[in-house]
Amino acid sequence: MAWMFPVWAGNDLESLRAQFALQDERIDYADAKLVVDRLIEPATDTDAVMRELDGWERAVRSQVPANATPRQVLDALLRTLYEPGTWNQEKPFTYDLGDPLGHNPKNKQLAVYLATRKGNCVSMPILFAILGQRLGLPIALATAPNHVLVKFADESQQAWLNVEATAGGFKYDSSYERETGISEKAIQNGIYLRPLSPREGVGVIASSLMEHYGAGQQADDLMAVTDMALSANPKDPVALVWKANAYYFQLQERYVRRYPDAAKIPAAELADYQRLSQENLAWFGKAEALGWTPGTEEQDADYMKSIENEKARREQ
């Protein structure tokens, strides 16, 4: 049975809906990312971004030896992006310590990242996945709480290697589990650290759009995007939580702002008010049942401490 998207989803989301409708083998991460970026920032020059991506692909290929293995291509990609050299004009891509929590949404856009070469845990792995896909590497996007990473299928080890794109290196699953507080339940249910299919990866890419609509409390558009993501991955924890928030925004818009006193909601509208309240709680419940937990102040403090340590290291 084909997934039917809500009829209230805006026409401006047709380009994103078309991405989710593609079969895995036809999905291009660059196309998907630029669709999302243009929905957020219509002035995005997609042709210019594509030309830059072409240039970076050529730069990587110039570092690849003849008859290279996939691992050698991966190493060339890492070197091209993260090590200073003529291939990147001695200006490698680095983590943006000035906006470590990604509070500035523009910093998650591909055009901005390519221009500044300062990224975050959204822009950095997505660019890596885009170039990896262009180079024919066996890669997939994956997530941890509030984080995106790339997985590489290493044939020699018969295992998936985690590429930590914010640092240009590798990292064990156990490190993510410890640092981000991933529970055993979450691992068993496959909501984190699992290599995602390309369609599921489009859902990860679309998380920036969910954040954009959430910031504007654009409930119906937010609901539409979360439904698209959940059609590809029903266990997407980010989409589950944003869907719960979409119901909350609908509740605020339709009732709370009109009737500050809930007792004054007309009887004819009471059932819808109760439905939205119940759905809001239910979708948070679905996320929690799979192992999602909200972040803690302690985790935020530990992360900011690591950022300060990295700033001090760079200044040495």
CA dist 14 to 7, 175, 246, Å?
A: 12, 39, 19
Per-residue pLDDT band at 114 (split at 50, 70, 90): very high
pLDDT at res. 152: 98
Q: Is the pLDDT of residue 99 over 50?
A: yes
Q: Is the pLDDT of residue 145 over 50?
A: yes
How distant is the alpha carbon of residue 59 from its chain centre?
Answer: 25
Per-residue pLDDT band at 10 (split at 50, 70, 90): very low
Residue 221: burial class (beta carbons within 10 Å; 0-12, 13-18, 19+): buried
pLDDT at res. 1: 30
What is the distance between the alpha carbons of residues 289 and 294, in angstroms, rounded to a whole number?
A: 13
What is the distance between the alpha carbons of residues 81 and 168, in angstroms, rounded to a whole number?
A: 8
Residue 121: phi, psi to the nearest 5? Answer: -80, 10
Q: Which two tokens stand for residue 91?
A: 């200006």
pLDDT at res. 245: 98
| SS3 of residue 271 by DSSP | helix
pLDDT at res. 3: 36
Q: Mean per-residue pLDDT for 192-212?
A: 98
What is the distance between the alpha carbons of residues 223 and 126, in angstroms, rounded to a whole number?
A: 23
> For residue 249, which amino acid is it?
F
CA dist 233 to 37, 84, 197, 225, 279, Å?
A: 21, 38, 9, 12, 19
What is the distance between the alpha carbons of residues 239 and 237, in angstroms, rounded to a whole number?
A: 5
Q: pTM of the entire structure? A: 0.92
pLDDT at res. 304: 75
pLDDT at res. 50: 98
Please give the angle made by the CA atoms of 205, 179 and 240, to the nearest 5 degrees: 40
Beta-carbon contacts of residue 173 (< 8 Å; ≥ 6 apart): 162, 193
> What confidence tens digit (pLDDT) does each residue in 28-43 have?
999 999 999 999 999 9
Q: Mean per-residue pLDDT for 173-184?
A: 95
The answer to whether 142 and 152 have CB atoms below 8 angstroms apart is no
Element spanning 49, H or E? helix 46-61
Beta bridge partners of 170: 163
The answer to whether 283 and 247 have CB atoms below 8 angstroms apart is yes
Q: Mean per-residue pLDDT for 210-228?
A: 97
Per-residue pLDDT band at 166 (split at 50, 70, 90): very high
Per-residue pLDDT band at 300 (split at 50, 70, 90): confident
The total number of residues shown for the chain amounts to 316
